[in-house]
Amino acid sequence: MRACKKLHAGQSPRRIRAQWARPAVGVVIGAGFFAAVAFLMASDSPPAATHSSTVVEIKLDDVIEPVTAEYVENGIRAANGEGAAAVLIELSTPGGLDTSMRDIIRAIISSRVPVIVYVAPSGSRAASAGFFVLLSADVAAMAPGTNTGAAHPVIMGNADVGKTMETKIENDAAAYIRSLAGKRGRNAQLAEQGVRESKSFTEKEALDDHLIDVVAISPGELLKSLDGRTITRFDGSTTVLHLAGAEIVPFAMTSREQFLAHIADPNIAFILGALGVLCLYVEFTHPGMILPGVTGAVAIVLALYAFHLLPINYTGVVLIALALVLFGLDVKANAHGVLTAGGIISMVVGALILVQSPLPGAQIRFSTALSVTLPVAVISAILVRLAVMARRNKAITGEQGMIDAMGVARTDLAPEGKVLIRGEIWEAQAAQPIPTGSRVRVRGMQGLKLIVEPEQKDRKLTIAD
């Protein structure tokens, strides 16, 4: 307690307030950052009420993963809650995760409202997991110039699970597609070929071979062609579609779902991970700033959330970690940029192989890897250089900061007197007499008394000096 009182006794209230201001501002800003993230993570208000003359439109135009699956499930749930005439899922996907696909199919099968899956617009596809979703619908439709199929299961990350396990996974997927197609009255044998042989089908081939029910150029034309059609539901019951004049009501993603969908992009995840590492390094080397630590922690958590959805190649992780080490060593070893160049190559290659996914768009792009690596290399070199310089610099506070400080004797030291050091008057003691005005050098401290000695080649100084 006594030491604390002595410390603050020499400080003005303004300086004390300034010392607390930076952490306080950091806490306020960090709290605001967390509040913004919490707002985005919170569910939006429910969509506007629909009625029986409306068709709820859900657009699934991305990889099938937990966020998009939740979006589709919420849309189907909203349509059921409001008694819509039908649900229209506009599908365009290269595939996705088996678990998320099954979640969507369960929502389609259990829906009281008929579900129409429509591969659109022209040029789109319903590949892999999308093929299963298409065949699970009450009505399967495609736009001209689209395709579906290529649904052979792929082990994410190219993991070697053994021939027996691969066969089990393939047989399971084949049985699942046969079950879906059979219950919907579609060509189960051809659907199985789409799984076992990765066979793909154009919209015309799919229609001619009874994989789908209709080809339509637009959602309006599709609903018009289905009006009055009797369909068989998954439980065997029949229902008549009344879609004439029905209003198509889009079901939008909530802010939370949009936010998480962007985070799940491996390119965004990689950027967040790099940002998080740099912010945490700044916080560790400059304790008390608060904001970099908060920002870095949040960025790292969001990046980990995205990467746990993706097949990670740990060789890529090792290469990225090696790159960060090389950036730091270049500064300490004074390698003239050689280690930094190696680190840049290591990080770019590590980023490119970090995510192993057969799905297009589910890898980190070269442009992203390079545009993140170069700034990280420069910023890391600057931060490490500043840290090294700070360690090498002599302390200028406390007892260590006073050693070797130069001053002037204000009175005769015989052996005690007063000296002027850095604009302050100190009690001093010397081993030999030192006359007034002589240069002195500090050699130690005893409490608040300086131990000084005359500077070599000392000369008389005036008080003005």
Q: Is residue 344 part of a domain?
A: yes
- Asked if the structure places residue 352 within a domain, the reply is yes
Per-residue pLDDT, 395: 55
**Angle, CA 41 vertex, CA 35 and CA 45 arms, to 5°:** 105
pLDDT at 110: 96
- pLDDT band for position 377 (cuts 50, 70, 90): confident
Q: Which residues contact 250 (CB under 8 A, 6 or more apart)?
A: 57, 59
| Domain-embedded: residue 20 | no
225 and 318 belong to one structural domain = no
Tens digit of each residue's pLDDT (9 = 90 or more) over 352-361? 888 876 666 6
**CA–CA separation, 115 and 104 (whole Å):** 11
For residue 13, pLDDT over 80 is answered with no
Residue 339 lies in a domain: yes
For residues 437 and 281, the model is more confident at 437
Instruction: Please report the pLDDT score of residue 140 as a whole number.
Output: 97
| CA 10 – CA 24 distance, rounded (Å) | 23
Q: Are strands 247-250 and 214-215 parallel, antiparallel or unpaired?
A: unpaired
pLDDT higher than 90, residue 48: no
**Residue 359, pLDDT score:** 63
Give the domain extent around 157. Answer: 54-253
Distances (CA, A) of 205 to 93, 146, 148, 176, 338: 19, 11, 10, 22, 58
- 384 lies in the same domain as 290: yes
Share of the chain above pLDDT 70, in %: 82
Q: Which amino acid is at 6?
A: K
Within its chain, how far is the Cα of 437 from the centroid? 65
Check whether residue 379 and residue 431 sit in a common domain: no
- My answer on whether 241 and 158 are in the same domain is yes
The mean pLDDT of the chain is: 83
| Tokens standing for residue 411 | 């009175």
* Structure confidence by residue, pLDDT tens digits, 383-417: 777 766 766 665 566 677 788 889 999 999 988 99
Side-by-side strand order, sheet with 54-60: 214-215, 139-142, 115-119, 86-91, 54-60, 247-250
Domain assignment present for 37: no
**Is residue 211 located within the same domain as residue 281?**
no
Quick one: pLDDT at residue 156? Answer: 60
Q: Domain check: are 414 and 324 in the same one?
A: no
* pLDDT at residue 393 in the model: 62
Interval 139-165 mean pLDDT: 83
Q: How many CA atoms lie within 13 A of 124 on its CB side?
A: 23
Residue 233 and residue 315 share a domain: no
Q: Dihedral angle at the C-alpha atoms of 75, 78, 84, 88, nearest 10 degrees?
A: 0
Look at residue 232 in the predicted model and tell me its pLDDT.
Answer: 92
- Do 143 and 286 lie in a common domain? no
DSSP per position, 273-331: HHHHHHHHHHHHHSTT--HHHHHHHHHHHHHHHHHTTS-B-HHHHHHHHHHHHHHHHHH
pLDDT bucket at 3, cuts 50 / 70 / 90: very low
pLDDT band at 247 (very low <50, low <70, confident <90, very high): very high
Has residue 45 got a pLDDT over 70? no
**DSSP code at position 214:** E
pLDDT at 258: 87
Looking at the predicted structure, is the pLDDT value of residue 445 above 70? yes
As a whole-number percent, the residues of the chain with pLDDT over 90 amount to: 50
**Domain final residue, candidates 350, 377, 392:** 392
Query: Do 407 and 278 share a domain, yes or no?
Result: no
Residues 298 and 319 placed together within one structural domain of the fold = yes
Residue 438 sits in a domain of what CATH number? 2.40.50.140
Mean pLDDT of 247-256: 92
- What pLDDT, on the 0 to 100 scale, is given for residue 61? 92
More confident position, 51 or 280: 280
The total domain count for the chain is 3
Considering only the C-alpha atoms of the chain, give the largest distance between any 2 of them, rounded to a whole number of Å.
Answer: 115
Give yes or no: residues 423 and 286 share one domain: no
Q: Is residue 407 part of a domain?
A: yes
Give the tens place of pLDDT for each residue, 358-371.
666 678 889 999 99
pLDDT in tens, 285-340: 777 778 888 999 999 999 988 888 777 888 889 999 998 888 878 767 776 778 88
Q: Which residues pair with 427 in a beta bridge?
A: 418, 449
pLDDT at 67 over 50: yes
- Average pLDDT of the segment spanning 126-130: 94
| Angle at 69 (CA atoms; ends 272, 221), nearest 5 degrees | 120
CA dihedral (26, 29, 32, 34) positive or negative:
negative
- CATH code at position 241: 3.90.226.10
The highest-confidence range among 117-121, 263-267, 330-334, by mean pLDDT, is 117-121
Element (H, E) at 454: strand 449-454
List the one residue out of 386, 445, 389, 393 whose CA is nearest residue 419. Answer: 445
Nearest Cα to Cα of residue 228 among 332, 351, 139: 139
Count CB neighbours of 231 within 10 A.
Answer: 19
Q: Please indicate, yes or no, if residue 315 is contained in any of the structural domains.
A: yes
* Domain membership flag for residue 461: no
pLDDT at 361: 63
Among candidates 81, 65, 77, 60, which has minimal Cα distance to 125? Answer: 60
Looking at the fold, whether 207 and 310 belong to one and the same domain comes out as: no
173-177, 304-308, 429-433, 436-440 — which is least confidently predicted?
A: 304-308
Closest CA relative to residue 55, chosen from 81, 77, 86:
86
